Amino acid sequence: MFYSQKKEDEVTWQKINMSFERSKTLTESDFLQFLIQTKDIVVRSMASERSKLSGTTLSLLNNAIIIISKEKNNEIVTKIFSFLDSILPTLIKLTGKSNKVICTRAECTLIEMGKVLSLTRHISLLKDSLSSISKNIRLGVYKLLESNYNNFYLKNKSINENYFKDFIPLIMKGKSDVNFEIRDLCKRMCHLIKEREDIIVEDNEESKAPFSIGSKPRVYRPPQFIQREIKSGIEEKNTKKEI
């Protein structure tokens, strides 16, 4: 791929895209090897503003995830896991793109990654991402956690039953997020965790707050009729003083 080091333009992006499309015809082992050899341009291309190139690149990642989910651990599979670890921050950022197509594709790939990837080493990244003002980034991370719980954790629970405990405070926090979809997702997860685990899932002070990440403090204003009564009472009191 002589063009891999060149700046993306109208010619090179199409060549890259064609090369990526052809790689899907390779054997599984050769395909994973191709992905490792081209990882730098894969990272660049998945973040491309060109929707077609970004989509093709993300489809490669989805294919790789399917392959390693059924493969036994070996050197190339280990390298792919390491590669997925390294691109997680970029993938999370893509969910905040203004281009809805790219955003949706990135979210779908995050969900697939959640099925196979241990997130323990990424907890700081997840915490930071959940502080984003972008609703789509926060939602993408929570969908990643939901997928991780329902797939990776339950599959490996016998190996490390305490794996998911560190993520529960993040989910509890999401129950008071300003976005209703995030709130519903986190409430659903808390319900599942309560049913399946010997874990006490309780509201902490942070999750009881009247506002959350991405929202502004809510100022309480009494209903109009109460405001009128208060105003009327003040005026009546002032009138009596004048008399």
Residue 14, pLDDT above cutoff 70: yes
H-helix or E-strand containing 16? helix 12-23
User: Does residue 90 form part of some domain?
Assistant: yes
Decide if 232 is inside a domain.
Answer: no
Rg (CA), the chain: 24
Per-residue pLDDT of 177-201, as tens digits, reads 999 999 999 999 999 888 887 555 5
Centre a 10 Å sphere on the Cβ of residue 194 and count the other Cβ atoms it contains: 12
Instruction: Please report where in the chains the tokens 């099925």 appear, as a residue.
Output: 115
The span from the CA of 237 to the CA of 241, in Å, is 6
User: CATH number for the domain including 59?
Assistant: 1.25.10.10
Rounded mean pLDDT of 192-216? Answer: 54
Q: What whole-number distance in Å separates Cα of residue 138 and Cα of residue 92?
A: 9
Average pLDDT for 130-137 = 97
- For residue range 35-77, what is the model confidence (pLDDT) as tens digits? 999 999 999 999 999 999 999 999 999 999 999 998 777 899 9
CA angle 35, 36, 42 (to 5 degrees): 55
Residue 83 domain flag: yes
Task: Please state at what angle helix 180-196 crosses helix 135-147, rounded to 10 degrees.
Answer: 20
In SS3 terms, 57-117 reads as HHHHHHHHHHHHHHCCCCHHHHHHHHHHHHHHHHHHHHCCCCCHHHHHHHHHHHHHHHCCC
In a domain, 183, yes or no: no
Res. 216 pLDDT band, cuts 50 70 90:
very low
Q: Note whether residue 130 is domain-resident.
A: no
Q: Domain for residue 181, yes or no? A: no
Does some domain include residue 208? Answer: no
Range from 26-30, 115-119, 219-223 carrying the lowest mean pLDDT: 219-223
Q: Is 46 a domain residue? A: yes
Q: Which domain holds residue 39?
A: 1-117
Instruction: Using alpha carbons, select from 159, 172, 181, 174 the residue that is nearest to residue 199.
Output: 172
Measured at the CA of 206, the angle between CA 143 and CA 209, to 5 degrees, comes to 100
Q: How many domains does the chain have?
A: 1
pTM of the entire predicted model:
0.79
